[in-house]
Amino acid sequence: MANKKFIKFISLLAATVLLSSCTTVTRFPAQRMPQPGKQICSIMGSNIIHIVAPGETLWHISKVYGVSMKDIMRANNLRAAASLEKGRKLIIPSIGGVKAAVPLFSSNKWRYIIIHHSATEAGNAYYLNIWHRQRGWNEIGYDFVIDNGTRGKMDGAIEVSPRWINQEVGAHCRAADMNYKGIGICLVGNFSQERVSEKEMNSLVYLVNVLKKYYGIPMNHVLGHGQVPGARTECPGKLFPWREFRRKLENCR
């Protein structure tokens, strides 16, 4: 009887939670993972169901949730770490919170950071990947996605796209050739109609600060999509709080 109740409980959770995230970093020995400092937002939660995104690996999932690969494999009866299929639901056992695992790669081509919004009320990297493929792109066009608490992802969760992991040219801003020199960050939400959540803003500040420091990107090279010369868009939205964002970024050491 207890087993039936547990299975029913897990089924209900699985029906309400959809997640997606990142991909492998093991093929790039030059990368570093920054250690969270006092200024980062703490991305806490209690999600225990994770849906595998395109190209995602067990290694990164384990880093994000702070749960060992062996524990995840044991909870899901996985025989090999490589046996992950897109869309598979994983039980993440005994998690205490989600961490911002941001991989960094040695490169001198990243000179700008371009901020976008999804212009949708809901979404995550998994759904953005579907939408971008429907537009004829080979995969999601952004390097990072910051979630707003919809589609099963926690508010403020940072997702890393396969495009960033493979250090590929972007597909987020043609103006001024920013796809070739700008790191694309998309916040889920429509900030022409609503405001950025506090957790999304904190995650954005943390992520931009990490990227700025590692790649030596100056403050005046952190732009909204619509601020790029030649771009004809109000992205990331007319309500995006630039003054608050820049103030927090300047105070983030």
Same-domain check for residues 59 and 133: no
Residue 85's domain spans which residues? 16-91
Which residue among 62, 91, 120 closes a domain?
A: 91
Does residue 6 fall inside a structural domain? no
Same-domain check for residues 152 and 245: yes
Q: Which ranges in 182-251 belong to alpha helices (H)? A: 198-215, 242-251
Q: Taking a C-beta distance cutoff of 8 angstroms, is the pair 228, 175 a contact?
A: yes
pLDDT tens figures, 146-165: 999 898 788 898 888 889 98
Same-domain check for residues 235 and 127: yes
Q: How many independent structural domains does the chain possess?
A: 2
Same-domain check for residues 127 and 40: no
Same-domain check for residues 127 and 231: yes
Same-domain check for residues 74 and 162: no
Same-domain check for residues 57 and 164: no
* Averaged pLDDT, 63-67: 79
Q: Which helix (H) or strand (E) holds 57?
A: none
Same-domain check for residues 187 and 154: yes
The CA distance from 139 to 122, in Å, is 19
Same-domain check for residues 134 and 219: yes
Does residue 132 fall inside a structural domain? yes
Same-domain check for residues 73 and 116: no
pLDDT tens figures, 77-136: 898 777 688 778 888 886 655 666 788 999 999 999 999 999 999 998 888 999 999 988
Q: Is 232 exposed, middle or buried (0-12, 13-18, 19+ CB in 10 A)?
A: exposed
Same-domain check for residues 123 and 227: yes
pLDDT tens figures, 210-238: 999 999 999 999 999 999 999 999 999 99
Does residue 7 fall inside a structural domain? no
CATH number of the domain enclosing 85 = 3.10.350.10
The CA distance from 127 to 133, in Å, is 10
Does residue 85 fall inside a structural domain? yes
Same-domain check for residues 73 and 187: no
Which residue among 59, 91, 123 closes a domain?
A: 91
Does residue 3 fall inside a structural domain? no
Does residue 177 fall inside a structural domain? yes
Which residue among 29, 58, 91 closes a domain?
A: 91
Q: What is the pLDDT of residue 51?
A: 72
Does residue 102 fall inside a structural domain? no
pLDDT tens figures, 170-216: 999 999 999 999 999 999 999 999 999 999 999 999 999 999 999 99
Does residue 119 fall inside a structural domain? yes
CATH number of the domain enclosing 240 = 3.40.80.10
The CA distance from 186 to 238, in Å, is 15
